[in-house]
Structures are given as C-alpha cells and as structure tokens.
Amino acid sequence: MEGAKNATLTKRSFLRAIDVLNLSYVGLIGILILVFHKNLERWVFYFALHVVMFAGQLAFYRLTAFTQNRVWRFIRDLITPLLLIFYYEETEKLNHIIAPYYLDPFFAHVEEMIFGAQPALEFYKWIPHPLFSEYMHFSYFSYYLLIPALGVPLWFSRRHEEYDSFIFGCLLTMVFCFTFFIAVPCAGPWRYFASQTNRWNFPGYIFVPLMEIILKYGEIANGAFPSSHVAMATVILLCSYQYHRLIFWIMLPCVISLFASTVYTQAHYLIDVPSGFLVGLFFFMVRNKVKNGIEKILRLRRSDDIVPEKT
C-alpha cells in the first residue's frame, strides 16, 4: 500500500522540493529583470538566459527524476551546489536594477556609530603578522570546502533524505541572501574603502596568493550585508552537528575562524557577521518546515529513497 502511494505521488510530480526552489529562484530573478529592465543593460539577454535556464532545469529534472543510475543521480545532486556559484556571480550584474547605487555609506556609518571606527580596516593593523594573515586567508578559503565536507559523506553513505535536507537548507539560505543583495546592494569595505585597504597587499605564502587569484576572478562587488559566507557556514555547521558529529567538531574551529576572516580580509563589515549568523540560524531552523510544506502542498516525493514501483 505504501509503495503504491509513493508511486502515485511520483507519477503526479517528478520534482523534489529543492528542484522547485531552484526553479522558483530562476523564475523570480527573471521577473525582476522584466520589471526593472530599464536599469539593466542587455536586459533581453539576461531575461532570455533565465527563460532558457528555467526550461533547461525543468527538462533535466524530468529526464533524471526516477533514474536509479548512481552517476546520473550524483550529477543531478551536484547541480545545486554548482548553480549557487552562478547565482552568486550573477548578483553583481543585477545589483543596481532596483537601487541605482551601493548602500555602503549607510552600512559604514552604522559601523562607525557602533564601534567608533571601521573594524575591517583596523583588524589587520592589530595583527599584521604574515603567519596570522596566512591563517586568516586559509580560513576564508575553507568556506569552499564546507559543502563537500558534509555533503560527500552523506551522499556516498546513501543518507539521501539528510543530504536533501542539508542542500535544501543551503539553497534556501542563499536564495534569501542573493535576493537581498539584489534589492540592497552593498559592495563591502574592500571596495568602499579601496584606497585604504590591504586587499591585494596582505603578507602571506600560500593561501594569501591563492585567495588573491580566487577573489580577482570570482569575487563580486556586492553581497556584503548580511554575509552569505557566514550564513552558509552557519547552516552547514549546524547540519553537521545534527547529521555527523565528528565532522562538526572538525569543522567548528574552521568556521569560527572563517567568521573572523571575513572581517580581517576586508571582505565584510563587522556587522555583516552577526547578521549573517542570524540569517543562517533562522534558515537552519525552518528549512525542514519549508521543505515539508512544499512537499505536502505540491505532493512531491521526499527524496531518492522513495521511487515509483513497477506496475
């Protein structure tokens, strides 16, 4: 009976909650581009790109929905982490479609009112040692390792429901952050205080030059408040505590150092860190409620552990 019920649900919808969230974000950005296109050069290209992406993702989800081939299932589950990179980079192109200028003067003023200075400019001056600079840049680099650090063990141990919950939480957090970045553009102290920063002059040996390369080709002039790095790291850390306690204890000092490194490397204002933490904490707490709500309303299958039976 249960198998027949699951088969009925999968026949009615081939999508998962994370698929719906991806499609919803692509659709939302397409609508924003259409509505605010006067403020975006080549808006027809970007709108068409989102139409193609929406159709392409929908077709891909349909074609791979019920496959039992582990390679295709891995590729499908890898899509969302890869899309996060595109979504992030894209916000820089869209950061003035609503607000025509960066709002850094406001955030820098708030920072000044609270701390009497700019912590992002002062932190390096307090500890300018090359070894500490290297450690801070390694901590910033560790952000790129967090998703695979938890996602790979969950996926390969076939804990698909936990993997889906984890990745859904990451995507939900980033969907909020990226939408907020587009509506409230803030470049960060490295750009606003460009003449006063050490952005490209930190002392170091390995991770300093490595991060300079990554930032040169991958960093965007947007997305400072709240810190999506902190928000995402918070979600991943809390998921690791829930799903894999050993990884949590290994990850904990890296994440704490990552929080500090966002300010030390002058990527973020200090107020971006607690705001990012609160965003991450909130979406960690609600992720399963949102996911379960989408699945219930749209009658979706929960994970790859539930597949249609042959009739």
pLDDT band at 5 (very low <50, low <70, confident <90, very high): very low
Residues of the chain above pLDDT 90, percent: 78
With a cut of 90, say whether residue 50 has pLDDT above it.
yes
Phi, psi of 233 (to 5 degrees): -60, -35
The type of residue at 130 is P
Q: What is the pLDDT of residue 227?
A: 96
304 assigned to some structural domain: no
Range with the lowest mean pLDDT among 12-16, 36-40, 198-202, 276-280?
12-16
Chain centroid, CA 286 distance in Å: 16
307 assigned to some structural domain: no
pLDDT band at 304 (very low <50, low <70, confident <90, very high): low
7 assigned to some structural domain: yes
Query: pLDDT by residue (tens digit) across 193-234?
Result: 988 888 888 999 999 999 999 888 877 778 899 999 999 999
Which 8-state DSSP code applies to residue 309? P
With a cut of 80, say whether residue 69 has pLDDT above it.
yes
What Rg do the C-alpha atoms of the chain give, in angstroms?
21
With a cut of 60, say whether residue 133 has pLDDT above it.
yes
DSSP symbols for 36-90: TGGGSTTHHHHHHHHHHHHHHHHHHHHHHTT---HHHHHHHHHHHHHHHHHHHHH
Query: pLDDT by residue (tens digit) across 155-170?
Result: 999 999 999 999 999 9
pLDDT band at 303 (very low <50, low <70, confident <90, very high): low
Mean residue pLDDT of the chain comes to: 91
259 assigned to some structural domain: yes
Total domain count, the chain: 1
Q: What is the pLDDT of residue 199?
A: 82
Q: What is the pLDDT of residue 310?
A: 41
Question: Is the CB of residue 133 less than 8 Å from the CB of residue 207?
Answer: no
Distances (CA, A) of 50 to 28, 269, 300: 9, 32, 24
Closest-CA residue to 263 (of 120, 109, 122, 135): 120
138 assigned to some structural domain: yes
Residues 6+ apart with CB under 8 A from 20: 294, 298, 300
Q: What is the pLDDT of residue 272?
A: 97
Question: Is the CB of residue 189 less than 8 Å from the CB of residue 197?
Answer: yes
311 assigned to some structural domain: no
Q: Which domain holds residue 155?
A: 2-298
pLDDT band at 87 (very low <50, low <70, confident <90, very high): very high
Q: What is the pLDDT of residue 12?
A: 53
Token couple for 207: 């991770």
303 assigned to some structural domain: no
Which 8-state DSSP code applies to residue 97? S
Residues 6+ apart with CB under 8 A from 288: 165, 169
Chain centroid, CA 105 distance in Å: 25
Phi, psi of 22 (to 5 degrees): -60, -50
Closest-CA residue to 184 (of 300, 259, 99, 298): 99
Query: pLDDT by residue (tens digit) across 230-287?
Result: 999 999 999 999 999 999 999 999 999 999 999 999 999 999 999 999 999 999 999 9
Q: What is the pLDDT of residue 61?
A: 94
306 assigned to some structural domain: no
Q: How many other C-beta atoms lie within 10 A of the C-beta of residue 59? A: 10
